[in-house]
Amino acid sequence: MPTSLPALAFGGDYNPEQWPAAAHREDRELMREAGVDLVTLAVFSWAWLQPRPGAWEFGWLDEQMDDLHAAGIKVDLATATASPPPWLTHRHPEMLPVTQDGRTLWPGGRQSFCPSSPVYREHALELCTRMAERYHDHPALALWHVSNELGCHNARCYCDTSAAAFRTWLRARYDDDVARLNDAWGTAFWSQRYDDFAQVLPPRVAPTHANPTQQLDFARFSSDQLLDNFVVERDVLHRLSPGVPVTTNFMVMRQTPQMDYLRWGRELDVVSNDHYLIGEEDGGHRELAFSADLTRGTADGRPWLLMEHSTSAVNWQPRNRAKLPGEMIRNSLSHVAHGADAVLFFQWRASRAGAEKFHSGLLPHAGTDTRQWREVVELSRVLDAAEEAAGSTARNQAAILFDYEAWWACELDSHPSIDVRYRDRAEDLHRALSARGVGVDVVHPSTDLSSYRLVVVPTLYLVDDAAVASLTAAAEAGATVVITYFSGIVDESDHIRLGGYPGAFRDLLGVRATEFLPLLSGQSVVVEGLGSDPVTADTWAEDLELAGAEAVATYADGPAAGLPAVTRRAVGEGTAWYVATRLDPAGTDRLVERLVDETGVETLPGAADLVEVTRRVGEDASWLFVINHGEAPAPVDVHGRELVTGRDVAGDLRVPPGGVAVVRESARPAGREA
């Protein structure tokens, strides 16, 4: 009988094929010492399981499964289809991915396959089937792990096979009617009219800007093709290994917009995510917090698994910063604070050879007499102490709407300004809300918004009518809706919503702009009205007129001098705000301060710029997580039992600099909370 997942799982990718048998025995002893209870096995094992066509060698994996089971360690078993072996690409070079400018991506790295390749799929499904048949009832099996980071290196393939698959996808989208495709793609422009689907290609490198809707549809198609690779393997696993959950690891991070994870999440039994900090960036913990909330959004609010992060440096950034003492524990707890029920790492033992030999692991090259190892053991203790919070989740009153399609469309070429970056506003507003203790759900625009008091809509360039109606209904019913610049500009086909900007949201917001006035590189403008002294803004301005809204803040200079920069309009029982420029951090903070005051949205105690506070709520209890990223102790007014130290607190919790705390809250005094 397969087993269940550990409550707050701890462990990582385990690649025993890279090491001799003596190391395996040591691995299991040290895993026990570190409290590892879940490992991900066989991710890159295809060439070991099927060394040549028709030859299967499962003996070594049988042994690993049995030995791990005997050591009390559960297994997240990969289907091993992530990286095809050299014999396969050698026989079938037509399965290799091709870039936009026609270069073949040759084997020698990993993920050398076109996501639409029937040859790849046939062989991958054979392997997946054999894995499922062999291990479906193994007692160590807790989870199936399809492929690995689908689309990490091969998200968009432009080969002839992809072109044919793209045409099939387009025929389905446009009801086999090329006239509908012509309408959607606006092909009256530049003589692009197609007479037959056979003439359509992926947006390969062209003399100048490719058709934007062609690019957008290709992004949708590419995401769907990769998802399909997951779905076909998942279906095999569901058939042959019923009852065992199936996942694939997402890459919800700023650098990876290619997969529409908010849609993908619906297909997974349990969502898992890989997250890596950009080590050279200041305040990476804020990007981490946003990504973790977005991951919870992909899981529709349910707990999810942190499948990979790093104990310290990675190997793939230009300069790979080692984590500071305590940083790995803070990162780990932060993921748990935002809904993770597992803290796993890439990888168990740092490799000796290969491209990732300088990537940190749970067990470093230098062995166990290291600060890194001691921190790993300490993290395991902290997770054990907090284990009772597993299964709980957030119940927040504020939401940020997020949409991968809007991201793709917003960042296409030939737009008013290359400085409009989609995730930028979302992360900044998330940061400002978090610093005031407002818990935030990051959700797709199709989400039911009726339980939110505050709904923030950053740069939702592309929006469908249903989302506009849902936001309008939320405002009418009493919510405060805040929309930022370059939102509501186009429909799903990337066609302008006519009549003035911000097209789809003009009526809700009571404003109208006739022209964008993007700011130049390095240019900033002064904005007055948000508090007693002025703030600055950059990137964007508009010649905005009021059409029912009031001006809250106005530009003091720049191309929109004297015009409204921030507006507010009463709508039914609620309010709609428009923020027409990119406020600096101080301006964003003032805006958020006012929104928090006006909406009365719940705020968690102790939160500050460098003090992250979240609450997870279970059936009979709630847990307050505090992560102190600062250099001063963080006082928190919370009552209950602090699980990391095992002490009771009565309004007097002080989290040390760089420390973490998890408090099981005693019943809150009546009236203290909305």
Active site (catalytic) residues: 149, 308
Q: Which is nearer to ligand GAL, 220 or 359 (CB)?
A: 359
In angstroms, the CA 547 to CA 501 distance is: 12
Residue 20 Cβ vs ligand GAL, minimum distance, rounded to whole Å: 21
Type of residue numbered 435? A
Of the CA atoms within 13 Å of residue 542, those in its CB half-sphere come to 26
* DSSP per-residue letters across 54-111: TB---HHHHHHHHHHHHTT-EEEEE-S-SS--HHHHHH-GGGS-B-TTS-B--SSSS-
Residue 313 Cβ vs ligand GAL, minimum distance, rounded to whole Å: 10
Q: Which is nearer to ligand GAL, 154 or 581 (CB)?
A: 154
In angstroms, the CA 639 to CA 664 distance is: 8
Give Rg (Cα) of the chain. Answer: 26
Backbone angle region of 171, left / alpha / beta, with phi > 0 → left and psi within -120 to 50 → alpha: alpha
* DSSP per-residue letters across 324-343: PTTHHHHHHHHHHHTTEEEE
| Binding interface with ligand GAL (CB under 6 A) | 148-149, 152, 274, 276, 308, 314, 346, 356, 359
Residue 154 Cβ vs ligand GAL, minimum distance, rounded to whole Å: 13
Q: Which is nearer to ligand GAL, 308 or 612 (CB)?
A: 308
Residue 274 Cβ vs ligand GAL, minimum distance, rounded to whole Å: 5
Q: Which is nearer to ligand GAL, 145 or 569 (CB)?
A: 145
The answer for residues whose C-beta is within 8 angstroms of residue 663's C-beta and 6 or more apart is: 623, 624, 626, 636, 638, 640, 641, 642, 643, 649, 653
* DSSP per-residue letters across 256-286: --SS-HHHHGGG-SS-EEE----TTSTTHHH
The DSSP call for residue 189 is G
Q: Are the C-beta atoms of residues 601 and 454 closer than 8 Å to each other?
A: yes
Q: Which residue is nearest to ligand GAL (CB)?
A: 346
Q: Is the dihedral of CA 32, 34, 35, 41 positive or negative?
A: negative
Q: Which is nearer to ligand GAL, 12 or 437 (CB)?
A: 12
Q: Are the C-beta atoms of residues 269 and 246 closer than 8 Å to each other?
A: yes
Q: Which is nearer to ligand GAL, 10 or 555 (CB)?
A: 10
Q: Give burial (CB, 10 Å; 0-12/13-18/19+) of 413.
A: exposed
Burial 139-151 (b: 16+ CB within 10 A, else e): ebbbbbbbbbbbb
Residue 149 Cβ vs ligand GAL, minimum distance, rounded to whole Å: 4
Residue 89 Cβ vs ligand GAL, minimum distance, rounded to whole Å: 19
Q: Which is nearer to ligand GAL, 152 or 653 (CB)?
A: 152
Residue 263 Cβ vs ligand GAL, minimum distance, rounded to whole Å: 21
